[in-house]
Structure 1
Amino acid sequence: MFSNSQFAVAVHMLVFIARGQFDQVTSEEMAESVNTNPVVIRRILCRLARGNLVISQPGALGGTKLSRPADQITLLDVYYVIEGCEAYCLHKSQPSETCVVGRNMLPVLEGIMQEAEAAVKEKLSRYTIEDVLRQVLKL
């Protein structure tokens, strides 16, 4: 269902921020935890900010904090911000109409993918950033 690793990185970042609770977290601190370049973190932070999941303060004394309590941010919220409404793609070009497989493939696949996507969304709506943080701290 996920088109790349950005969802996992975004959840990682939000859990990292939630662990600090009161302090603002820098992109460099998050990048160290994720083990990636701070530029990657900043790109995802921009999306999270546009999605109203974080608030960022630029500058030397700046950083990022959650826009609301961690128990009020679901993984489905993150999914919508990072993946958009539909996280699957079908054929880029129209399959052959003269072939029985080509003619019928898109409607069949679309139905299956919509069903799978609904199951993913339902499951993600059950978990919050706080839930993930609790599980991380238990290990």
Structure 2
Amino acid sequence: MENRSFYNEILTEHNLRPAHKHDLADANLVLEGVNPSCGDHLWLKLKVEDGVIRDGAFVGEGCAISQASADIMLDLVIGKETEEALELAKRFFGMIQGTATEMDLEELEDAAALQDVAHMPARVKCAVLGWRTLEEGVG
């Protein structure tokens, strides 16, 4: 794995300048995700047509990890078929559980920056909030 400062830069960038944190007026799938243990709360807004996630955004509040993870997730799933997005979610959950292969990590691209969260049990729910919301709403 590359050095941790590189991964910290990825998370910081997605937290400070999220590309997908805005409203999406033409979303046809709006999903609520809540982490009651820490107060993270987001609305995942997707435009899904013909089984493809054409666009996506999120609004809400939470810690840096939950916000960066949701932004990274949207980078990965926009333009993908819903089945592909669910496969990425499966890989992400595997990474958090410590069972990801090198291929999984490559497929996850920037989301692999969250791999160390697996060693911080209190932060796991933060990292998976957007992904679980996607899985529950699209799956």
Question: Is the pair's TM-score, using the shorter chain for normalization, greater than 0.5?
Answer: no
- Higher RCO, 1 vs 2 (CA within 8 Å, ≥6 residues apart): 1
TM-score by length of 2: 0.27
Larger radius of gyration: 1
TM-score by length of 1: 0.27
Write 1 or 2 for the structure with the bigger share of strand: 2
